[in-house]
Structure 1
């Protein structure tokens, strides 16, 4: 089945968002690609992080997935670990989680 997709940036370019929540069963990577402007301005991004979705649904490498997260997010919170990290340490935590097959329903990227 093919579904027509559109970049959200093209439709919501005159709006500002404090929070963006993305939980679309493995297609988070593709959604983030179509909303780079929105993500570049939002204060908080919550995104589902499930290794099997990244690999088997999106079909991308973890680093490609993580590259979609804008640099202005300096911290990330992993609810499953009940911890908040600086960006570089948090990205390492996500890499370890990915390697272990561990996921989280909503990683928070914030300032």
Structure 2
């Protein structure tokens, strides 16, 4: 994905909103279709790229790569590269990423309850 210019409206809005409050800053870090799922899947153990790809249905190699890089840059995951042939790279939650576990557990409980209520309304 191409980098956005610092002077673009999108970049300016992102920076302004990130400084607006902590909630918007946090949502910007974990927002999108795949980031929270990647973090959620890393909750139990360290995983390799191919393992993540297998257990996240529908994610492309490109999207997984981009999101892993962003999550690492934001300090939510750690990437360990081993000097082996073939190269081995593993990902795990950082301390900051682990602090999100109770948040996504609550989101999961809410989501299941809301889904159940919504199905009962139909």
TM over 0.5: no
| Structure with more relative contact order (C-alpha pairs < 8 Å, separation 6 or more) | 1
- Structure with the largest fraction of helix: 2
